[in-house]
Amino acid sequence: MAEAPGMPAGAARESRGSRVERWSFYAAFGVLGGAAVTLLAAPTVIVLITSFTSAYTLKFPPPGYSVRWYRALWESSPEIVAAAVLSLKVAAVATAIAVVLAVGAALALARQRAAWARILDSVFMSPLMLPLLALGLALLVLFSRLGVELSLTTLVIGHVALTAPYILRTTTASYVQLDPTLLECARALGARPWFAFRTVTLPLVAPGIAAGAFIAFMASFDNVAISLFLSDARSEVLPIRLWNIIESSLDVRAAAVSGVLIGATAVLALVMERIVGLSRHVR
């Protein structure tokens, strides 16, 4: 094609001020954001490295590397293993109960605009905002007034209250995104409510429920504030055991426990990301 007649010889250039303005902007956010990413990730990495130390102290960088603290954890720390098993048990049972309760509530409340539904929703979400320590103490007072001995059951009850909001939130979010015409369509095609729920609602909301259950499980597994008041003298959950170790002796086994927890969390999170798109449900 021939050149258009009357083209000017040179092209206009961006002014220097504009260039400086643009670069300073991206440089500022790049540096600050990059620093934040480092700050977010570095501590975890440092603990992971420390857990492989060969020394008796938490010196960083470690003077040498070994897996001795992991072996110590596995071979000669039955109380830590017992605490981990108890934590897993409590988190699993509490999450299972919370799923049943919270999914029902989410289905009921997600599409309601009425005031009572909105109030109920924020009530159910309140444990995320409350100081859980206060709830733990309150439950302890309730159980002692009622003459109920502390047990696995009392611990699980406390954990249901703290896990339910996570499941409620993710389930509500995926249910709201579910196109209501899909359900209407199922009904118009002859499906009874239960059949439509089983074949349309549940499969499409399941990733949200699973993501919520996973986050809830991790929150329960990590909880100290409630367990502090509700576990009986014999049963100690892992985070409290770990807290005790760190507070009293700074035993390097704490680093090994941390290493296991970091690894397990990362693996589980990546698996959940693959299956249900975890990160989409956290936002």
Partner 1 sequence: MTRGGPRPAEAWQLALPLALFFVVFVFAPLGLLGLVSAYNEPELRTMGLAQYAKFFGDAFNVNILVQTLALALKTTLLAIAIGYPLAYLYTLAPRRLQRVLLLVIVLPLLTSAVVRTFAWIVILGRLGIVNSALQTLGWIDAPLTLLYTPTAVVVALAQIEMPLMVLPVITALMNIDPNLTQASAVLGAGRWRTFWAVTLPLSVPGLLAGCLLVFAAAASAFVTQTLIGGGRHMFMPVYIYQQAIQVYNYPFAATLAVILLVSVLAVVTVVNVLGRRSRGFVHG
Partner 2 sequence: MGVTLDRVTHRYGGTLAVDDVSLVVQPGELIVLLGPSGCGKTTLLRIIAGLLGQSAGRAVIGDQVVDALPPNERGAGIVFQNYALFPHMTVAANVAYGLRARGAGRAAAADAVERMLRLVRMETLAKRYPRELSGGQQQRVALARTLAVSPKVLLLDEPFGALDKNLRLDMQIEVKRLQRELDVTTIMVTHDQSEALSMADRIAVMNRGRIEQFATPEDIYDAPATPFVAAFVGTTNLLRGRLAAAREGFRVELGGGALWLREASPCAGEGEVMVVVRPEQFRLDPEGAEGLAATVRMVLPHGPFIVYELSLADGSTLKVTAGRGGVAHRPGPGDAVRAALVPGARVPVFPA
Q: Rank residues 111 and 192 by Cβ distance to partner 2 and give the closer one.
A: 192
Q: Rank residues 59 and 71 by Cβ distance to partner 1 and give the closer one.
A: 59
Instruction: Indicate which of partner 1, partner 2, none lies near residue 56 (CB less than 5 to 8 Å, by partner kind).
Output: none
Q: What tokens were used for 138?
A: 């309150």
Q: What tokens were used for 151?
A: 């047990």
Instruction: Indicate which of partner 2, partner 1, none lies near residue 4 (CB less than 5 to 8 Å, by partner kind).
Output: none
Instruction: Indicate which of partner 2, partner 1, none lies near residue 247 (CB less than 5 to 8 Å, by partner kind).
Output: partner 1
DSSP H helical ranges for the chain: 16-50, 68-76, 78-109, 115-125, 132-146, 152-177, 180-188, 193-196, 202-222, 227-230, 238-248, 253-276, 278-282
CB of 114 to partner 2, least distance (A): 13
Q: Rank residues 234 and 283 by Cβ distance to partner 1 and give the closer one.
A: 283
Spatial CA neighbour of 159 closest among 95, 75, 235 = 95
Q: Which of residues 89-128 bind partner 2 (CB under 8 A)?
A: none
CA-to-CA distance for 91 and 213, rounded, in angstroms? 10
DSSP summary character for residue 167: H
Three-state secondary structure of 45-99 = HHHHHHCCECCCCCCCCCCCECCHHHHHHHHHCHHHHHHHHHHHHHHHHHHHHHH
Options 191, 224, 268, 269; binder of partner 2; rule CB under 8 A? 191
Residue with tokens 């002859």, as numbered in its chain: 190
Options 13, 203, 247, 283; binder of partner 2; rule CB under 8 A? 203
Instruction: Indicate which of partner 1, partner 2, none lies near residue 24 (CB less than 5 to 8 Å, by partner kind).
Output: partner 1
Tell which phi-psi region holds residue 250, choosing left (phi > 0), alpha (psi between -120 and 50) or beta: left
Q: Rank residues 71 and 142 by Cβ distance to partner 1 and give the closer one.
A: 142
Q: Rank residues 21 and 74 by Cβ distance to partner 1 and give the closer one.
A: 21
Q: Rank residues 1 and 169 by Cβ distance to partner 1 and give the closer one.
A: 169
Spatial CA neighbour of 228 closest among 130, 135, 161 = 135
Interaction between residue 275 and partner 2 (CB under 8 A):
no
Options 15, 76, 181, 248; binder of partner 2; rule CB under 8 A? 181
**Site residues, partner 2 (CB under 8 A):** 179, 181-182, 184-192, 195-196, 199-200, 203-204
